[in-house]
């Protein structure tokens, strides 16, 4: 019997008005593991009405009280770690080793971070003159819509939901259609923690219907979106009719630069994590590698040897480090990039095919794949693959490599590997990206801002900068003059 899930609207669990369902498939086995309601505009309207009704009381609650409810949610996440980790592994394909040790604990930690740091949000007093009090306050936006992707279903929603809630907004979350179950469980946990009905609503259904209805709803003040660049562009267009704010965390094509003086062994370690963590389904995944010609052969040889050791297979086995890609059509897309790389003349150094072991044959696995002899004219070096497929290219000079890195419509992240910190920082300053790591790739903390430039989007998640995304500044001016004198007297009188 396939497990049935319901959506959360106004504190109640409901089916969709049409009774239609989404099948949730385990990408490691191809089996249906659950069904979630396939909602429509009807449920979006209900959820927005519920969130709008709950908004004044939630915004009026002291920050300290909202903060305590986030801390209670964080504790409950850890109490439910096994169920959450299992759900995420089953619906998204990440190995249980990762969901238990990384995704779920980080969700709890991030709520703690938001709960603590939001209490330090301040307004300003502006010294315009002795006759007045001129100050700013930060207010919640109201009802916000949060639309999230499938690559880290729980984390991506917590990044936005934690910041939006603690600052006093009420929320409608639209999780990804292929992996909505952890988000529904997080909604349940927040109810149990004591967050009032209507403050958190979770609706499942297709982006083209539920997502677009949310984006176009006149009572939604902002859309916080993480996903594909093409979807982000569509959301921007649709949001313009209601002059809605949008925050866009979009795709990336992240460069990994190994300079002549780099510690090659350390760079190889970083390339294993950067290129293959979460089967390469990371917005910041290292996917185009520029290696100085003097260390190219050594790097390529060691990278291939290290990648061969990665254990993929049964995602419920604690030893497995690489799972499948998240769904069947996505595997087809990843495989089409492998074919394009071959056609464009890249040299296949590792992988390039489906693994065929007993454990992997029914799932949507792609073996870790490394191409050599790549260049920026190849499709696989220009477009986001979002799978365990990387390309290596040679470069000669530091000026040339900066040009190669910046020759991309994306600007999410990049890394530079060198023993010369000064040179690393010089290059970091020249690279157009939201984050540049030196001797590291893919490390993100609660305290550090995350978000790209160019077609990777705008706005920041994480750090205290995220609070700017979910609050608006109001200026309040008080005239303290007792007499009729005003600063503008000389102009009109």
- Does residue 386 bind ligand NAD (CB under 6 A)? yes
> HEC string of 181-219?
HHHHHHHHHHHHHCCCCCCEEECCCCHHHHHHHHHHCCC
- Does residue 88 bind ligand NAD (CB under 6 A)? no
Which residues are within 8 A (CB) of 345 and not within 5 positions of it... i.e. 6 or more apart? Answer: 373, 378
Nearest to 261 by CA among 106, 423, 370: 423
214-237 burial, b at 16+ Cβ within 10 Å, e below that, comes to: bbbbeebbbbbbbbbbebbebbbe
We find the least distance from the C-beta atom of residue 329 to ligand NAD, in angstroms, to be 10
Per the listing, tokens 């979009």 go with 250
Query: Which listed range, 10-18, 81-89, 224-232, 346-354, lies at the site for ligand NAD (CB under 6 A)?
Result: 224-232
Which residue in the list 39, 283, 374, 446 is annotated as catalytic?
283
Residues 96/98/100/102 CA torsion (nearest 10 deg): -170
Q: Which of residues 254-283 bind ligand NAD (CB under 6 A)?
A: 283
Query: Which listed range, 92-100, 225-233, 334-342, 439-447, lies at the site for ligand NAD (CB under 6 A)?
Result: 225-233
We find the least distance from the C-beta atom of residue 152 to ligand NAD, in angstroms, to be 7
Residue 149 or residue 187: which is nearer to ligand NAD going by CB?
A: 149
- Does residue 252 bind ligand NAD (CB under 6 A)? yes
- Does residue 292 bind ligand NAD (CB under 6 A)? no
- Does residue 91 bind ligand NAD (CB under 6 A)? no
- Does residue 106 bind ligand NAD (CB under 6 A)? no
- Does residue 145 bind ligand NAD (CB under 6 A)? no
Residue from the set 34, 142, 153, 207 that interacts with ligand NAD by CB under 6 A = 207
- Does residue 187 bind ligand NAD (CB under 6 A)? no
Per the listing, tokens 């449920």 go with 43
Instruction: Please report which helix (H) or strand (E) contains residue 138, including its range.
Output: strand 132-140
Q: What is the DSSP string of 243-304?
A: T-EEEEE----EEEEE-TT--HHHHHHHHHHHHHGGGG--TT-EEEEEEETTTHHHHHHHHH
> Does 283 qualify as catalytic in the annotation?
yes
We find the least distance from the C-beta atom of residue 445 to ligand NAD, in angstroms, to be 14
Query: Which listed range, 80-88, 196-204, 248-256, 349-357, lies at the site for ligand NAD (CB under 6 A)?
Result: 248-256
Which residues are within 8 A (CB) of 138 and not within 5 positions of it... i.e. 6 or more apart? Answer: 121, 122, 123, 167, 467, 471, 472, 473, 474
Q: How many residues bind ligand NAD (CB under 6 A)?
A: 32
Rg of the chain, C-alpha, whole Å: 24
Residue 93 or residue 168: which is nearer to ligand NAD going by CB?
A: 93
- Does residue 148 bind ligand NAD (CB under 6 A)? yes
Residue from the set 226, 287, 369, 398 that interacts with ligand NAD by CB under 6 A = 226
Beta strands in 351-470 (DSSP E): 369-372, 389-395, 410-411, 413-417, 435-438, 453-454, 457-458
- Does residue 424 bind ligand NAD (CB under 6 A)? no
Strand, coil or helix: 23: strand
Bridge-based pairing of strands 413-417 and 369-372 is unpaired
- Does residue 103 bind ligand NAD (CB under 6 A)? no
- Does residue 385 bind ligand NAD (CB under 6 A)? no
- Does residue 29 bind ligand NAD (CB under 6 A)? no
Strand, coil or helix: 222: strand
> Does 249 qualify as catalytic in the annotation?
yes
Which residue in the list 88, 91, 112, 249 is annotated as catalytic?
249
- Does residue 436 bind ligand NAD (CB under 6 A)? no
- Cβ-in-10-Å burial (0-12, 13-18, 19+) of 75 comes to middle
- State the binding string over 446-485 for ligand NAD (x if CB under 6 A, else -): ----x-x---xx----------------------------
- Does residue 412 bind ligand NAD (CB under 6 A)? yes
Instruction: Please report which helix (H) or strand (E) contains residue 236, including its range.
Output: helix 229-239
CA 114 to each of CA 120, 300, 477: distance values in angstroms, whole numbers, following the listed order:
10, 41, 30
- Does residue 117 bind ligand NAD (CB under 6 A)? no
Can you tell me the distance from the alpha carbon of 18 to that of 24, in angstroms, rounded to the nearest whole number? 18
- Does residue 151 bind ligand NAD (CB under 6 A)? yes
Residue from the set 34, 93, 227, 313 that interacts with ligand NAD by CB under 6 A = 227
Strand, coil or helix: 143: strand
Binding-site ranges for ligand NAD (CB under 6 A)? 147-151, 156, 174, 176-177, 207-208, 211-212, 215, 226-228, 231, 234-235, 249-252, 283, 384, 386, 412, 450, 452, 456-457
Catalytic residues: 249, 283
């Amino acid at each position: 019997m396939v497990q049935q899930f319901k959506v959360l609207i106004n504190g109640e669990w409901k089916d969709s008005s049409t009774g239609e369902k989404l099948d949730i498939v385990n990408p490691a086995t191809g089996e249906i593991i659950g069904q979630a309601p396939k909602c429509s505009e009807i449920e979006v309207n209900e959820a927005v009405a519920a969130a709008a009704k709950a908004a004044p009381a939630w915004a009026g609650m002291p920050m300290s009280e909202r903060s305590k409810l986030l801390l209670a949610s964080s504790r409950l996440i850890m109490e439910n770690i096994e169920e959450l980790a299992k759900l995420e592994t089953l619906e998204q394909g990440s190995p249980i080793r990762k969901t238990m040790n990384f995704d779920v604990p980080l969700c709890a930690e991030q709520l703690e971070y938001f709960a603590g740091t939001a209490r330090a949000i301040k307004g300003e007093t502006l010294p315009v003159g002795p006759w007045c009090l001129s100050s700013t306050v930060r207010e919640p936006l109201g009802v916000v819509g949060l639309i999230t992707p499938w690559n880290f279903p729980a984390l991506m929603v917590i990044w936005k939901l934690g910041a939006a809630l603690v600052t006093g907004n009420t929320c409608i979350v639209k999780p990804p259609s292929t992996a909505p179950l952890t988000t529904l469980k997080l909604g349940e946990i927040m109810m149990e923690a004591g967050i009032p009905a209507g403050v958190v609503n979770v609706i499942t259904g297709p982006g083209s219907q539920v997502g677009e209805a949310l984006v176009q709803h006149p009572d939604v003040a902002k859309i916080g979106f993480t996903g594909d660049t093409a979807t982000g562009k569509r959301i921007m267009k649709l949001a313009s009719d209601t002059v809605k704010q949008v925050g866009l965390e979009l795709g990336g094509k992240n460069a990994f630069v190994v300079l002549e003086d780099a510690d090659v062994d350390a760079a190889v370690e970083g390339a294993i994590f950067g290129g293959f963590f979460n089967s390469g389904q990371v917005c910041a995944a290292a996917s185009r590698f520029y290696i100085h010609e003097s260390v190219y052969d050594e790097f390529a040889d060691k990278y291939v040897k290290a990648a061969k050791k990665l254990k993929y297979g049964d995602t419920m086995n604690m030893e497995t480090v690489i799972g499948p890609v998240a769904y069947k059509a996505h595997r087809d897309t990843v495989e089409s990039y492998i074919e394009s790389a071959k056609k464009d003349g890249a040299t296949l150094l590792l992988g390039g095919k489906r693994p065929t072991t007993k454990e992997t044959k029914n799932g949507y696995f792609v073996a870790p794949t490394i191409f050599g002899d790549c260049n920026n004219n190849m499709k696989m070096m220009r477009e986001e693959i979002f799978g365990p497929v990387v390309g290596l290219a040679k470069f000669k000079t530091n000026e040339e490599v900066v040009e190669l890195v910046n020759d991309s419509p994306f600007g999410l992240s990049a890394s530079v590997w060198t023993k010369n910190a000064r040179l690393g920082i010089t290059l970091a300053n020249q690279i157009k990206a939201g984050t540049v790591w030196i001797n590291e790739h893919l490390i993100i903390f609660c305290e550090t801002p995350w978000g790209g430039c160019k077609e990777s989007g705008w706005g920041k998640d994480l750090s205290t900068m995220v609070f700017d995304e979910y609050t608006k500044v109001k200026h309040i001016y008080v005239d303290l003059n007792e007499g009729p004198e005003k600063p503008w007297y000389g102009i009109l009188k």
